[in-house]
Structure 1
Amino acid sequence: MPARIAFEFETPRGERRTTSLAYERRGRGEPLLLLHGIGHHWQAWEPVLDILATERDVVAVDLPGFGASDGLPQDCAYDLATVVPVLTAFCAAVGIDRPHVAGNSLGGLLALQLGSEKAVRSVTALSPAGFWSESERRYAFGTLRAMRGAALSLPVPLIDRLSRTPAGRTVLTSTIYARPGRRSPEAVAAETLALREATGFHQTLAAGRAVLFRNDIPSLPVTVAWGTRDRLLLRRQGARAKRVLPDARLVRLPGCGHVPMNDDPALVARVLLDGSATG
């Protein structure tokens, strides 16, 4: 079972609030914070956790309003100005000082923002949000809403049955995985339930409507990696990320989808270890 910790954080208005986040911690070495995407949970990193833990003190956290973590207090927005201080306070609460950080999708955007605020040692962003055109953003958000609607409409016994066949796992997860058949039935069922139960889903989408990441991070090692079969955030957005972050290392992930950790664990783990080695 993951651990849980309650802590205080400061809102953009300078007020103190309390929340509680769930997280998994493994390994020894320099700290590496892992941030998942919208509608997912820390278990998205499970395919690479044990590999990373051989060289890093790995902390995979459920973001506020996702997985087993609490949602934010009602007067708090799910925007970068709020969630980044939550993550900084979380790191202090679990005793890690300026960790390396890696994130996927929403988590990649958060990782880059942490880097721009010099709160971390290095940044590795896998298909990060925030480098889209307006039409690409609308497409991605529409797809995410459709995925959420499908997860809400399917009875739990049907989700369980679908997850137990390769065809069913394709139906449930082919938008985010290039190789959905490789994901275990238990993992597919659990992440489908995590999507339907994510209390922060709609608020996070609402906060993301106006997001474009435009900050260079010249003083930190930054890696941006994109799957060649990403169907949610199209890989051409990686070229835009390189223009915004000219010193970043841009890595191609052949045959990988939007959530690449399950499609090619060895490759993604190598990218994460390399990205956090130079900090």
Structure 2
Amino acid sequence: MLAYERFGSGEPLVLVHGIGHRRQAWYPIADRLAEQREVILLDLPGHGESPSLVKDGRPVQEILRDDLIELFDELDIHRPHIAGNSLGGRIALEAAADDLVSSATTLAPAGFWRNQVDFAYIRAVFTALTGAATLVQPVAPALMRTAPGRAAAMGLLMTHGGRLTPELAIGDLRGLVHARPALKTIIEGPSTFDRPIDPSIPVTVAWGTRDLVLLPYQAARARKALPNATHVTLPKCGHVPMIDDIDLVVDVLLEGSAHPRLGLATYDVA
């Protein structure tokens, strides 16, 4: 069973972090969301406090879907709203395509790169991140004590990493090292997202203009692939935008999960 936290009141909203991260990625906005939603934070397999990711010959996508369904059953929630960042955004889109959720809100979802050359860049970014996180472990507490140190350590992922608390920043670095085996397994077989989603399921795709991981050109590819979705630009936000613009990201997630199965309407607010 995946590790999770559950709090707040209202319609259930499941929040899924990105590759190499952990459920605490959502802490900067979780309390705000919990004022209007029942918030469910989870750790993906091989991340945070969840069990290791074990393929047993199955595709990673199948494992992630089955773990999500098992969590829904455990929590006794049916067709919750879901939101995700990066890999979590891809999981949210897959859940919508599988008709498992009432809405899907995504922040820089994975799966919209052009080709293997583009993905080689993404793989290189995460190789650099995990390598650097491993090297700085002995000095991480001192490095993360200052806002400039946190900003430098998190610079590839977010624009304002210095706003993280030292505790969150240290935990994120340790979590990245812990997730290395799962990260290696997940990125060994990349695929683009090209599945149809029932137009009655509201989908939101938001992208930071300063995303250094899944470069902002991918927002245009997502717009073309998902013409019925709401497409939102996050000015001056990085790949993990939850600390970069708390108010805007909260608004996007609340609006994206406000109305289940809205019908065939198409929205564009970019």
- The two structures have a TM-score, normalised by structure 1, of 0.89
Aligned residues of 1:98 and 1:120 also touching (Cα < 8 A): yes
CA shift in 2, pair 1:138/1:74, >3 Å: closer
* 2:187 aligned counterpart, secondary structure: helix
Match in the other structure for 1:200: 182
Distance 2:215 2:67 in 1: 29
Match of 1:149 among 107, 131, 141: 131
The code of the aligned residue for 1:178 comes to T
Are the structure 2 counterparts of residues 146 and 216 from structure 1 closer, same or farther at C-alpha, using a change threshold of 3 Å? Answer: same
Aligned-residue RMSD, C-alpha: 1.2
Partners of 1:30 and 1:122 in 2: how far apart?
A: 11
Q: Shift of the alpha carbon at 1:76?
A: 5.1
Equivalent position amino acid for 1:215 in 2:
R
Q: Quote the residue 2:140 is aligned against.
A: 159
Distance 1:166 1:146 in 2: 21
Q: Percent of pairs identical after alignment?
A: 44
Matches of 1:153 and 1:123, distance apart in 2: 36
Q: Residues 2 and 67 of structure 2 are in contact (CA less than 8 Å); yes or no, is this contact kept in structure 1?
A: no
Question: Which position in structure 2 is the counterpart of 1:133?
Answer: 114
2:257 aligned with 1:276: yes
**Over residues 201-251 of structure 1, what are the superposed CA-to-partner deviations in whole Å (9 max), with x where a residue is unaligned?**
2111113x2x10012312310000001111111111111111111000000
Whether 1:115 and 2:96 are equivalent positions in the alignment is yes
Q: Provide, for residues 153-178 of structure 1, a one-character-per-residue CA deviation record: whole Å limited to 9, x for no partner.
A: 2233x011111112211221100011
Give TM-score scaled by structure 2 length: 0.92
Runs of 4+ in structure 1 deviating by more than 6 angstroms, as ranges, are none
Match for 2:210: what amino acid? R
Aligned positions, number: 257
Q: Which of 130, 150, 163 matches 1:169?
A: 150
| Aligned 1:38-57 pairs, distance under 5 A | 38-57=19-38
Equivalent residue for 2:60, pick from 79, 82, 86: 79
Contact 1:215 1:245 in 2 (8 A): no
